[in-house]
Amino acid sequence: MGEQDLIAVTAPSAPQGPPVLPIQVTKAFLPPFAEYSAWLGKAYGTAVLTNNGPIHRDLEEALRHRFDVPYLRLMSNGTLAIQLAIRALGVKGKVITTPYSYVATTSAILWEGCDPVFVDVDRDTCCIDPALIEAAITPDTTAILATHVYGIPCDVEAIDTIARKHGLKVIYDAAHAFDVTWKGRSILQWGDASTLSFHATKLFHTVEGGAVVLHEHGSDDRLRLLRSFGHIGDEHYALGMNAKMSEVHAAMGMAILPHMPYILERRRAIVEAYDRSTHGMVARPRIPEGTGYNHAYYPVFLNDEQERELVLKEMAARGINCRRYFYPSLDTLPYVSGMSCPVSRSLSNRVLCLPLYPDLTDEQVLRIADALLSILQAYRGAGC
């Protein structure tokens, strides 16, 4: 569906009528059941349900080619993907990272026995601010772990320059960045590693799952062992864990892949409709020039925390669920310490993500945008 097919978000509030169902903030895309069943039938036919089965290998190869990367290994979830990327690259000590991300980014660093060092973010892109990274580097720093927030690419060239100068590894949490490109290349081609999440809320999913992209044979070999208990056959080589993806999960990914053009196009059309309606009323992140964007989320930033709280409650009262994503700023977690990151805290206190998924109808898009505008107009018109 193109932009011309999505009705303009300018209509007044709809008249009172029968109750309508609440609108979810996100909803998993499900392929036609017959298509998923056909892939499950292959698993039934082989009786192989896990341990690097044929569907698992099909999905790995399909994604590796899709992103044009040398090594890609599927994981059971996106959090273990980050943890094992850290371990496969031999990262120790202090890791410079972003406070504006989902908690898994910080959790993975801590679970691997490393110390997160928070650096504030760029207020326009919401991604880690490269201008602040060098001042945070110490002799104990071994890596930078940055997030492509909402699928918006980090300044990968600046980060690469800093990392090379100081001999640091670079890991990108690309949980939101499926199919994102920058200057015509997959964003996954940057850094020493990138990690993906295929959780059901993502635009491409395997119900639960993830992947690690690496660019060097030795680290990929280590990752292969780490993912599968550290042994091959009866020969044990390293400490490992069970982070494999099952055939049942890989089957969902294979069933969804053919639908990605529709998923991406429908999300683009909804985002453009929101943009037309909310222009000038709310702040939005800036997408860097040269980005091929995937429209993973629709975050808006309200004027202050009070306005954000009002909008959240009023939207819910109208049957529209929004989400404070990301909240809280990770530098405020009770089990970490370090420098305060005021930009991240401000963004975290003011953000709401509007509903965004292919199943949203044009009518629902109208309803969401009209509700947001009417709430803001009433609140601001009252001088609040």
CATH code: domain 3-27+259-381 is 3.90.1150.10
User: What is the assigned CATH class of domain 33-257?
Assistant: alpha beta
Which CA distances in Å does 163 have to 145, 170, 173? 11, 7, 16
pLDDT on residue 16 = 55
pLDDT on residue 280 = 85
What residue has token string 């947001």? 372
Q: Distance between CA atoms of 239 and 12, rounded to whole angstroms?
A: 61
Q: Distance between CA atoms of 129 and 294, rounded to whole angstroms?
A: 22
Residues of each domain in the chain carrying CATH 3.90.1150.10 = 3-27+259-381
Q: Distance between CA atoms of 162 and 170, rounded to whole angstroms?
A: 10
Neighbours of 66 (CB within 10 A): 16
pTM to 2 decimals? 0.93
**pLDDT tens digits for the chain (384 residues)?**
333 343 333 333 444 555 667 999 999 999 999 999 999 999 999 999 999 999 999 999 999 999 999 999 999 999 999 999 999 999 999 999 999 999 999 999 999 999 999 999 999 999 999 999 999 999 999 999 999 999 999 999 999 999 999 999 999 999 999 999 999 999 999 999 999 999 999 999 999 999 999 999 999 999 999 999 999 999 999 999 999 999 999 999 999 999 999 999 999 999 999 999 988 899 999 999 999 999 999 999 999 999 999 999 999 999 999 999 999 999 999 999 878 999 999 999 999 999 999 999 999 999 999 999 999 999 988 766
- Tell me the pairing of strands 291-292 and 181-182: antiparallel
Residues of each domain in the chain carrying CATH 3.40.640.10 = 33-257
Q: Crossing angle, helix 342-350 and helix 305-317, to 10 degrees?
A: 30
pLDDT on residue 21 = 79
